[in-house]
Amino acid sequence: MISLLFWLVVIPFCIGLLPAHFITDKKAAGPGLVLLSGFFVMWALFEAAALPAVIFVRYANFRAASVGFAAGSILCAMAGVLLAIRRRRAPVRADGGIFAPVRAMSWAERSEWLLFFGLLGFQLYKAAAYASFDGDDAYYVVESLIAQQADVMYRILPYTGRPTDLDVRHALAVFPMWIAYIADRSGIHATIVSHLIMPLVLIPLSYLVYYEIGRLLFCRRADENGGSFSGEDLPIFMIIMALFQMFGNVSIYTNETFFLTRTWQGKAVAGSLVIPALFWIFLQIYGGREREGRTGAGVWIVFVCVNMTAGICSSIAVFLISILTAVAALALAVVQRDLKVLLKMGAACIPNVVYMAIYVVMAYSYLW
């Protein structure tokens, strides 16, 4: 339990202090942003540690990736803490304590938040107490378990247990290996971590992204109402988002269905966490609150890490978010009449280009 808290709360939060250091807007750099940023930087670190191990190390490659990731994470976490101490700027809002926004709310607002947390709690209860069958688990969850039990990444066919060559499409999407890492550190069976622990982490984390988006969308009204970030539209936005997730099962293909039925799979994380996070980044950079340039450096770091996170989720996700970024950059460049937007957002996508280049080289290596 302590290991879980350490790797799923303490380490991401401390790592998040690193990009938060480069965001000067105190209101923007709240604990939610710090934690979210920390997760994205941590996943980017995992990609950087795991991909070379998957590609170049044949035996005990999971151990190699784990050592590299642990060292990188702890170093970044320490750097984040040191920077926070040096600046003596606690990310947690101090004015009036953390309950000040709650005290400033009307009873109606409080009841709306209560309703939202009721919906969230219900989703978490369902995720923990109910099993959701999905055939793809025979691949992804077993890959995590193989890494935990046999110390091997992507060299054993999960369906049967026989040795196999690297399957490029899956081998570059190392999200199951991150789950294996958490399982290994905590000493909990990887299947329990996937099916039970991950939803309890990833569902709230997705809502944290929606919350941050809501803050950016409705902050103006909130500011007019006394400076609290819990604007009166925000709880309603969150309730609608929660209901949409619960009733979005109009087909087996929607990201809402993936979100609540395959929460632990990389593609679900891509649909419900990474893609919304891009909207959050777009709003941070171009939504009005965060000024471009020096003050936004932290957000750009997170932008790059969100792109890298897509790579650990699924190889198609890299392609998808590149399309989204290209389309959004084009639209923003047109409305701002500024071609630099295209260049900046294109530069943030360099990890995607590198990832796709690795993919192509590995997939077509038989040609040379």
Partner 1 sequence: MWGIFLESVVIFQNYMGFHENGYLAGIYLFALLYLWLAEKDRRRRAIFVYAPTLLLFLFFCPLFRKVFVRLLEDSETYYRLLWLLQMSMVSAYGLLKLCGRHRRIGLAVICAAIIACGDYVYDSEHITKAENAYHLPQEVIDIVDMIEPETGRITVLVPADLIYFVRQYSTNIELPYGREMLIARWDYHHAMYEAMEKAEVIEADTFTELAREYPCAYIVLKEDRQIDEPLTEHGYDLYGQVGGYLIYRDTQTE
Question: 57-116: which residues touch partner 1 (CB under 8 A)?
Answer: 108, 112
Q: Which is nearer to partner 1, 12 or 214 (CB)?
A: 214
- Which 204-263 positions form the footprint of partner 1 (CB under 8 A)? 210, 213, 217, 232-233, 236-237, 239-241, 243-251, 253-257, 260-261
Question: What Rg value do the Cα atoms of the chain yield, rounded?
Answer: 20
Q: Which is nearer to partner 1, 24 or 255 (CB)?
A: 255
- Taking the C-alpha atoms of residue 357 and residue 172, their distance in angstroms, rounded to an integer, is 12
- Which 325-364 positions form the footprint of partner 1 (CB under 8 A)? 327-328, 330-332, 334-336
Asked whether position 158 contacts partner 1 by CB under 8 A, the answer is yes
In the complex, minimum distance from the CB of residue 237 to partner 1, in angstroms, rounded to a whole number: 5
Three-class DSSP category at 163? strand
In the complex, minimum distance from the CB of residue 110 to partner 1, in angstroms, rounded to a whole number: 14
Q: Which is nearer to partner 1, 26 or 169 (CB)?
A: 169
Asked whether position 367 contacts partner 1 by CB under 8 A, the answer is no
Q: Which of 56, 99, 130, 368 is the binder for partner 1 (CB under 8 A)?
A: 130
In the complex, minimum distance from the CB of residue 109 to partner 1, in angstroms, rounded to a whole number: 10
In the complex, minimum distance from the CB of residue 219 to partner 1, in angstroms, rounded to a whole number: 12
Q: Which is nearer to partner 1, 147 or 304 (CB)?
A: 147
Eight-state DSSP code of residue 159: T
Burial (CB count within 10 angstroms: exposed 0-12, middle 13-18, buried 19+), residue 356: middle
Other beta carbons within 10 angstroms of residue 342's beta carbon come to 16
| Centroid of chain to Cα 291 | 23
Q: Which is nearer to partner 1, 82 or 362 (CB)?
A: 362
- Which 17-46 positions form the footprint of partner 1 (CB under 8 A)? none
- Taking the C-alpha atoms of residue 63 and residue 147, their distance in angstroms, rounded to an integer, is 9
Q: Which of 1, 2, 92, 129 is the binder for partner 1 (CB under 8 A)?
A: 129
Instruction: Write the DSSP string, 43-75.
Output: HHHHHHHHHHHHHH--SSHHHHHHHHHHHHHHH
- Taking the C-alpha atoms of residue 80 and residue 85, their distance in angstroms, rounded to an integer, is 9
Bridge partners, residue 156, by sequence:
163
- Taking the C-alpha atoms of residue 99 and residue 111, their distance in angstroms, rounded to an integer, is 16
Q: Which is nearer to partner 1, 10 or 331 (CB)?
A: 331
Asked whether position 135 contacts partner 1 by CB under 8 A, the answer is yes
- Which 275-314 positions form the footprint of partner 1 (CB under 8 A)? 275-276, 279, 282-283, 286-288
Q: Which is nearer to partner 1, 18 or 283 (CB)?
A: 283
| Centroid of chain to Cα 89 | 25
Q: Which is nearer to partner 1, 51 or 341 (CB)?
A: 341
- Taking the C-alpha atoms of residue 176 and residue 189, their distance in angstroms, rounded to an integer, is 13
Bridge partners, residue 163, by sequence:
156
